Amino acid sequence: MKIVTVNVPESYITAINKLIGCDGLFPSRSELIRVAVREFLIKEITNATNAKRLIDSEEDLIEDKELDDQKIVKVPIETRDENNNPIRSFKTYKIIKRLD
């Protein structure tokens, strides 16, 4: 493992100290910080992956420009699979009347 030095506010240290030791959830500050960083990285990587899927699906909408000429739109629909991962699909609608 590598050593990383981080400056944090005193209030963070106070909160961390309440969560470590014999009565705490973590054996040490280092372990608490490792767990916090790991959870943060998992969350951010998942968000970045989902954002990539969103960008890819928006490109699909742009490619369907010819549908716009026929007054047809594709609306993205997001559902979840059994692992609670987002699944993006599209529903196609014909525009009958434009609302102003």
Three-state SS at 76: strand
Q: Where are the domains of the chain?
A: 10-94
Note the pTM of the prediction, 2 decimals: 0.52
Sort residue 73 into left (φ over 0), alpha (ψ -120 to 50) or beta.
beta
Alpha-carbon torsion, ordered 80, 86, 88, 93, to 10 deg? 50
Model confidence pLDDT, tens digit, residues 20-47: 988 888 999 999 999 999 988 888 888 7
Q: 27 CB contacts (<8 Å, ≥6 apart)?
A: 20, 21
Percent pLDDT > 70 in the chain is: 66
